Structure 1
Amino acid sequence: MASVLTNARALFSAEALENPYPLYTTMRSLGPVCQLGSTRAFFVGTHAAVTEVVMRHEDFSANLERMLVRGDDGKPRVFDLAGAGHASNVLATADEPEHAVHRRMLVQPLKAAAIAALEPAMRALAAERVDSLVAAGGGDFCAALAEPLPAWVVSRLLGLGDHALEAVQRWAMMGGDFLAGTLDADRLATVLTETGHQHAYLEAHLDAVAGSHDDSLTAVLAGAVESGLITKQQAVGMLVILFGAAGESTASLLGSAVRLFAEDAELQQRLRVDPGLIPGFLEEVVRLETPFKFHYRVVRRETRLCGTVLKPDDLLVVSWAAANRDPEQWPDPEILLLERPAGARHLGFGYGIHFCIGAPLARLEARVALEELLARSRRIALDAARSPEHVPSLFVRRLRYLYLKMT
C-alpha cells in the first residue's frame, strides 16, 4: 500500500511554491513513493526510487500525457493533456525508439566545438550586462543577465537573429508556465495564445531555412523533415522544448547561483579569489536548487515500485529536486559544500537516456556569467528592500526577481 500525503493542498500553498524542500522532506519520510491525496498521482522522492523509475522504460513512459493542476477546491487533480489535444511527445518526452532518433539529430549542433565557439560572444555580452549593473549600483539580475544570456544563446543555436531576441526571451521563460499547475483561466489563455504564436513563428523559420544547409540547429531539423526522419510537427515540437530546456533552466541556474553567494559573503569571496572553484560550485547549485523540480512518467502496465502497486495510466511525479536532497545519498544534503565528492552524481540534469544533452552548454553559460560577474565587481549583496521571489510553479525552480546591491 502506498503512503499518502493526506494534506495534498500543501503542494499548492504559497509556502511550498516558494520553498518546496520542507514538503519534499515530509513526503520522503512517508515513503519513496507517496500518493498525492485521492489522485492516482504519486510523488517519487528518494534517489534510489527516482533512478529506478527512469531506468525502467518498459514500465514507465516519458510521454507527457497528464499533468498535475490545482483544482477549484485547492487540491491537486490530474489533467489529461492528450485528451485536451496538448500532448507533444518529442525528445525529452519521447520514448524509444523515437527518442534515440531525436537525440541523434542534436549531437552535431551541440558538439563541444560548436558550444566552445559561442564563448567569446557570450562572454562579451555578460561583461557588458555586468558593467551596466555595477555602474547602476545593482538592479534585478534576472532581467539584466540571467534571462537575456540564455535567450541570446537560444537565438544563436536556432539561427533566429537578434531581431527576435525579445520574443525568444519571452517564450524561453514561458515553457514552465504551462506545467506550473497553478495558472488561472486568464493566464492559461495567455500562455496558450503565446504558444500558438511561438509555433507559427518557428514553423515559418523552419520553412525559411529548409535547404539552406547552414549549421544552425533549425537547419538540421529541417533537413531531417526533408529526409522523412521526422514530421514538421515533430521538428517544431523539438524547437519548442529546446526553448525551455536551453532558456529557462539556465536562467534558473544563474539566478540561484547568484542568490546563494549574494547571501554568503565568505563563499562569494572564495569564488572571486579562486575562479577555479566555480565549476564545482555550480554542480552544488544544480543539486540544491534543481531547475526543473521533476518530470512526469506515466505507468504503462500494472507493476510495483518500492512495494507500491501502480496501475496503467497512473501518473508519477519523478522529483529530481527531492532526490538531490536525499540524506541517504548525501551527508548534510541541505548544505552547500564546494568540496562535496559526490556532487557530480546529482540528478539535476536528469539521468539515463534522457540526461540533458545541453548540460555542457548550460555549464559553460553559467561559468562564463559568474566569472564575469565576480571579476567585474567587488561586492554583491541582496537588496534588503526587495526580497528574492520565485515564480509560483510546481515544475520550475526559477527566480522571478533577484534585486542586488553591487559595487
Structure 2
Amino acid sequence: MPRPLEPWRPWPRRQGRPQRSRLRDGEERPLGAMPAFELLDPQVVDDPYPFYAHLLEHSPLYEVPGTDVRLVARGDLIEEVLARHEEFSSNLTGVIVTGPTGAPEVFDMTRFGGAVDAIANADEPSHGLHRSLLLPYVTPRAVASLEEELRSWTVELIEPWLEAGGGDWIDAVANPLPTRAMARAVGLPLEDADRLLVWAMRGTEILAGTTTLERMGEVGAATAELVAYLGKQLQGALAACDTEPAADMIGSLARAVREGALAERDAVSILVVLAGAGGESTSSMTGNAARILAEQEALQEQLRADPSLIPAFVEEVVRTETPFRGHYRAVKRETQLAGETLPAGSHLLLLWAAANRDPEVFPRPERIDLQRPNLRAHLGFGKGLHFCAGARLARLEGRVILEELLGRTRSLRLDERRPPEYVPSIFVRRHAHLDLRTES
C-alpha cells in the first residue's frame, strides 16, 4: 500500500551553517561566488541541475554577474524571504533578459505600464482580496466537479494520438487540455482555447531569461492582444453580473468590480495571470511526466499495476522537474540575507527547482521515489501565502491524464528519430516537443 501523503511541514533549518562555503579542496568562497557556470549558457538552460547542485553546495545566494539579481537556491533561505513580507515584495518589477552581448541584463517591467501586481505577484492586502475572489472556484468540491469533463477531454485528445502509434505528446495532449481546463475554471469560451494557448506561451517568454530586448517588444505586443481580449470578456461578465450569480472566476471578478472592491484594470491583470499560468504549469507537468515514464519502463509497469500510486508520482514529477523553476521578489529596502547586504530596488529569484533537489531534504534527489515520507514537502507549487491557488486542479489534471495514458497503453517510449526538446527558458521547464511511440 502507498504511504499517505503527509501534510506540509516547515523546511529543515540548517542551524549554524556558515555564511561562507568551504569547497572540497578546502578553499573558502563567499556565498555569492560562482565561477563554474553561466546562467544563460544554453547547456545550463537545457539542463540546469548540475548548476543547481553547485549553487546548493557552494553559493545558495548567488549574484548574477552584471545584474542586481541574486539567485536563492536553498529552501530555508527561500522560506525566510517568503516570511519577510515587509522587506521583500512579490511585485514583478524586473526580470532577467538576454542583452546585446548575450549576457544577462535586467529588464524594467514598469516599461509595460507598471509593476505586475496580480495574485502571485501581489502583496497584501491586494493579494488577500485577489485570492478570496478565486478560491471558491478551486475548493475540493469545485475541482472534483470538473473531473468528468477533464476525463472526457483527455479521451478525446488521446485516442487519435494512440491510433497513430504516438507522436508529439505536447501538441496532442499536454498543451491543449490544460488550456481548456483553465478556460473552463476562469469562465472563458472554450472555442478560444487555441488562441489562449498561443498568448499564454508567448507571455511566459517575458520571464524566460533567454528573451532578447528586441523580442521583449514583440512579446509585449502579444500581451497587449491578450489584455484587449480579456478586457472584452470582462465587459461581458460585467453586463451579466447584475442578473446572474457568479458561476466562475471571471464572474466573481466582475461582481467585485461592480461593487467597487476591485479596479477594472486589476481584474484584467488577474485574468492575464490566470490565462498565462493556469495552463502553462500543467502543460509542463504532464509533458515531464510522460517523458519520465517513457524513460523508465519499470516505473510504467509499477503505475499500471497500482494506479493508486499515480498521485505520488505527480508529486515527484513536480519536485524533480518543477514546472515553474522560480519566482522573483523585489527588495523593498536595504536589508540582509545570509549575511549579505541586499540593496533597495534589487531583485531575488527564488529557485523552487533548486530547493526541490536539495539532497539534505530529499535524499537521492534526482530519483523518482514514490515512497518518500515527505512527498508534499516540495516547493513546486510555491509556499505560504502565495501557495498556488490552482494546485488542486493541476494535481487532478495530472492524475486524470496519467490514468488514461497508462490505462490505454502497454508500452511508452521515446521516439529516437526526434529527441525531446525543451523550451529555452530559465523560468519554465516545458517541452517544445516530446515525440513518443506507444503500443496499446
Give 4+ residue runs of structure 1 displaced > 6 Å after superposition.
Answer: none
Counterpart of 1:153 in structure 2 is: 181
RMSD: 1.5
Q: Compared with structure 1, are the counterparts of its residues 298 and 185 closer, same or farther at alpha carbon in structure 2 (3 Å cutoff)?
A: closer
Gaps of 5+ in 1: none
Counterpart of 2:152 in structure 1 is: 124
Q: Compared with structure 1, are the counterparts of its residues 170 and 83 closer, same or farther at alpha carbon in structure 2 (3 Å cutoff)?
A: closer
Q: Compared with structure 1, are the counterparts of its residues 86 and 137 closer, same or farther at alpha carbon in structure 2 (3 Å cutoff)?
A: farther
CA drift of 1:349 comes to: 0.2
Q: C-alpha separation between the residues in 1 aligned to 2:117 and 2:353?
A: 23
Q: C-alpha separation between the residues in 1 aligned to 2:337 and 2:52?
A: 18
Q: How does 1:157-172 map to 2 (within 5 A)?
A: 157-172=185-200
Q: Specify which of 347, 360, 374 is matched with residue 328 of structure 1.
A: 360
Q: Deviations over 1:95-130 (max 9, x none)?
A: 111111111111112222221111111101111222
Q: Specify which of 279, 282, 305 is matched with residue 337 of structure 2.
A: 305
Does 1:225 pair with 2:260? no
CA drift of 1:7 comes to: 6.1
Counterpart of 1:18 in structure 2 is: 46
Counterpart of 1:4 in structure 2 is: 33
Q: Which deviates more, 287-296 or 30-39?
A: 30-39
Q: C-alpha separation between the residues in 1 aligned to 2:384 and 2:175?
A: 28
Does the CA-based 8 Å contact 2:315-2:376 persist in structure 1?
yes
Does 1:240 pair with 2:268? no
Q: Deviations over 1:332-366 (max 9, x none)?
A: 11111111111210000001100001100000001
CA drift of 1:12 comes to: 0.9
Q: How does 1:325-404 map to 2 (within 5 A)?
A: 325-404=357-436
> TM-score scaled by structure 2?
0.89
Does the CA-based 8 Å contact 1:261-1:268 persist in structure 2?
yes
Q: C-alpha separation between the residues in 1 aligned to 2:174 and 2:381?
A: 18
Does the CA-based 8 Å contact 1:171-1:194 persist in structure 2?
yes
Q: How does 1:185-204 map to 2 (within 5 A)?
A: 187-204=215-232
Does the CA-based 8 Å contact 1:292-1:395 persist in structure 2?
yes
Identity %: 43
Query: What SS does the aligned partner of 2:269 have?
Result: helix
The residue identity in structure 2 corresponding to 1:114 is: A
Q: Compared with structure 1, are the counterparts of its residues 116 and 389 closer, same or farther at alpha carbon in structure 2 (3 Å cutoff)?
A: same
Gaps of 5+ in 2: 1-29
CA drift of 1:325 comes to: 0.6
Query: What SS does the aligned partner of 1:201 have?
Result: helix
Does 1:58 pair with 2:90? no
Q: Deviations over 1:2-49 (max 9, x none)?
A: 5223466x2111111111111111222222211112422111001111
Query: What SS does the aligned partner of 1:12 have?
Result: coil
The residue identity in structure 2 corresponding to 1:320 is: W
Does the CA-based 8 Å contact 1:126-1:372 persist in structure 2?
yes
Query: What SS does the aligned partner of 2:418 have?
Result: coil
Q: How does 1:243-254 map to 2 (within 5 A)?
A: 243-254=275-286
Q: C-alpha separation between the residues in 1 aligned to 2:105 and 2:407?
A: 48
The residue identity in structure 2 corresponding to 1:312 is: A
Q: Deviations over 1:180-219 (max 9, x none)?
A: 1212355434322221111111111101111243402111
Work out the number of aligned pairs and report it.
406
> TM-score scaled by structure 1?
0.96
CA drift of 1:86 comes to: 4.9
Counterpart of 2:323 in structure 1 is: 291
Does the CA-based 8 Å contact 1:349-1:355 persist in structure 2?
yes
The residue identity in structure 2 corresponding to 1:158 is: V
Does the CA-based 8 Å contact 1:4-1:36 persist in structure 2?
no
Q: Compared with structure 1, are the counterparts of its residues 41 and 189 closer, same or farther at alpha carbon in structure 2 (3 Å cutoff)?
A: closer
